Structure 1
């Protein structure tokens, strides 16, 4: 399935437009916002964890039950992408809420996770940038790849893009579309820039390799 959606020069980066319908997006957003899981604020952004919290000292997921209404989506992602490992399903979901103008610093998800991730975007659009890490540390000059993330789209990356690059979103009121690698998947009238209106919600879906169950 993914071969038709590969984008850019980095290996194993795929972009699927309209992975969910507008009705599914609305229903999912309502569930996410009304869920009793508490919001946490980090650098001005709001976020929620589903499936437990990743504990840095134990290098493990302190596992908690995933909401039943999330399970169909997670099973579908596992089946469609196989990015969590052969026959494996994700066990952790992070919900980020971005107000217009907010972004996230270039970062790497790290070795606690299987090296593959799905990001489902809802609400306002944005542009994500991948920047290669230099062998001697820090970031290499210039961005390796930029991907426009439109509402209801799914971004999948693994391998080289996951292990050798950082990914982030500029904190800016406008996001230029010049040079994005998935321009062919955007509407012809997309214009030259994206101007977020309202909040953007993203679901980052991953599999933590080490799990400590708290279910009992």
Structure 2
């Protein structure tokens, strides 16, 4: 699968070049608006897990990984044309994302290494809000828990994962209150950071970070047809 031209210059160089990082994908005003929209969602929209809470838009997948066809909320839809202009969804079956997970991580929270799986087209686009965080990437089948490489996601950035890394690696966020040992030798996307000077001490104390994870679910069912309408 070829890389769309606008994304080519954003490839992270040290891992396989199927991860792209764009700092300042959104403005501070857009970030603030998105955060307000997320926090204004009704309480039942939040799912509380042991190590984080999340929202699923427009709905959760069925047990057979089918998504009921519905529009994304306007505040999430607002970023889709910008992603399409970059070519993020050029090879996706629906040419756009149809599903977004909103994950909130407070200091000390994280997520175990995992893969997104076959329910989705192999492209994930993640927008970070509020605070930076380190994403750890692991090779599948490794016996240990040492990341293959680390990606520092700044607030307002876009991270696009495709191809080889999507299929052959796991990703996770370590549950800790600070991220340490940050620098050009340890962070794969250091040369692409928008504000590397913010991390010159090699560490930072975590604050609340929210991620918007955009994906294209392969199987979509029309609600009207499910109930016999045409």
TM-score of the pair, normalised by structure 1: 0.90
Q: Give the aligned length.
A: 211
The one-character-per-residue Cα deviations of 1:133-167 (angstroms, maximum 9, x if unpaired) are 12xxx656632221001110111011111000000
Residue segments in structure 2 that go unaligned for 5+ positions in a row: 1-5
Does residue 96 of structure 2 align to residue 89 of structure 1? Answer: yes
Bigger Cα displacement from structure 2, 66-75 vs 150-159: 66-75
Question: Equivalent residue for 1:113?
Answer: 120
For the residue of structure 2 that corresponds to 1:131, the secondary structure is strand
Q: Is the 8 A contact 2:179 2:203 kept in 1?
A: yes
For the residue of structure 2 that corresponds to 1:112, the secondary structure is coil
1:1-216 pair list within 5 angstroms: 1-7=6-12, 8-36=14-42, 38-56=45-63, 58-83=64-89, 85=91, 88-134=95-141, 142-176=146-180, 177-178=182-183, 179-184=186-191, 185=193, 186-191=195-200, 192-197=202-207, 199-214=208-223
Moved over 3 A (4+): 138-142
CA distance in 2, matches of 1:150, 1:142: 22
The one-character-per-residue Cα deviations of 1:14-54 (angstroms, maximum 9, x if unpaired) are 11011101011001111111123610012231100112211
Q: Is the 8 A contact 2:89 2:97 kept in 1?
A: no
Return the index of the structure with the highest Cα Rg: 2
Q: Is the 8 A contact 2:134 2:151 kept in 1?
A: yes
Residue segments in structure 1 that go unaligned for 5+ positions in a row: none
Calculate the aligned-residue CA RMSD, in Å: 1.9
Give the structure with the higher percent strand: 1
CA distance in 2, matches of 1:139, 1:213: 43
CA distance in 2, matches of 1:213, 1:18: 36
